[in-house]
Amino acid sequence: MTRVDFYIVEDNRAQARQRLACRLAEKAYTLNHTVYIHADDRQQAEQLDQLLWTFRDGSFIPHSLQDDKVASQAAIVIGCDDEPKEHNQVLINLGETVPPFFSRFERVAELITGDEQARQAGRERFRFYRDRGYELNTHNLDDKAS
């Protein structure tokens, strides 16, 4: 059964969820996992595509948009519409709702930031998973900051 992890930060600045997605994608990449990042729309997917190249000095995270020809070979793919074809290990959800294909993944990362709208949407996704019996884990990343 899919394991669902909620990652919580108090940051409510613009792009806080996207930056957190980059951090998690980088960690998963270093652990040799394939990652699909689900964006709400094409604009968000393209913004994340750019951010993955620049979010941290010295980082290199090879990735692709889902409709690129090399997407099947990329360890990290960003999409917004269709279910990914090759990836099934880690799903990072930037959407406001639960993607209908989430259960084919080994792990799902749900990202919650400090603004109230993101928290409310996160609570709804938490209830969705809980009501269906999924294993839920919560990580407050602000508690782990140094």
List pLDDT tens digits, range 22-77: 999 999 999 999 999 999 999 999 999 999 988 888 777 889 999 888 888 889 99
Neighbours of 140 (CB within 10 A): 13
- Quick one: 15 exposed, middle or buried, by C-beta within 10 A (0-12, 13-18, 19+)? middle
Looking from the CA of 98 toward its CB, the CA atoms found within 13 Å total: 21
- The CATH architecture that domain 3-144 belongs to is 3-Layer(aba) Sandwich (3.40)
Looking from the CA of 68 toward its CB, the CA atoms found within 13 Å total: 17
Interval 85-144: pLDDT, tens: 877 899 999 999 999 999 999 999 999 999 899 899 999 999 999 999 999 999 998 865
The overall pTM is greater than 0.95: no
